[in-house]
Amino acid sequence: MPKIPEYKNSLGEEIDLLVKVYTRPNLRDGVNEYLMYQGKFALEDIFDNKKGDDSLSLYFEYPERWANILELWALVDRIPILYPKIQKVEIKTHSVYIIQCVRSSQISICDKPEMYPGGWPGEMLDCCPKPNILQGLYVAGTGELNKIH
């Protein structure tokens, strides 16, 4: 949860924050290599230069590629400070460090069944032997909890 509960900019306007979570991204896809740079320069402004501008929207494509864990935790809270007029922020990620810093209403899980050749994650539990240390744990699958036997 962000430190700013309503997540507003300095003008008092609510910021439209959307975190698109991809559970199995292919970060080695050469076609998308240039897309990975989206948001990199904003990260440099936020964490290195400590200055922002009057941008009204920001888009980050997997910022975990360019930021450390502490920066990922601080990203959502620092944006309204350094971009006082910001109105929209979109983050495409698979980083748990970003996900745990936002409200559930700001998260959109983007998943494709064809990404799972063995079936959905809940169905994949039987694909490999489970170590005894995992007994009693639950794994979140397709909206339901699956107990590891």
- Sheet of strand 107-110: strand arrangement: 57-61, 88-93, 16-22, 107-110
Residue 149, SS3 per DSSP: coil
Q: Hey, what amino acid is at 33? A: E
Q: What is the pLDDT of residues 46-68, one digit of tens each?
A: 999 999 899 999 999 999 999 99
Q: What is the pLDDT of residues 21-36, one digit of tens each?
A: 887 777 777 777 788 8
CB 91 within 8 A of CB 21: no
Q: For residue 125, name the pLDDT band (cuts at 50, 70, 90).
A: very low
Q: Hey, what amino acid is at 114? A: E
**Among the listed ranges 86-90, 112-116, 139-143, which one has the minimum average pLDDT value?**
139-143
Single pTM value for the model: 0.71
Question: Has residue 124 got a pLDDT over 50?
Answer: no
Ordered by start, the domain boundaries in the chain are 1-111, 113-149
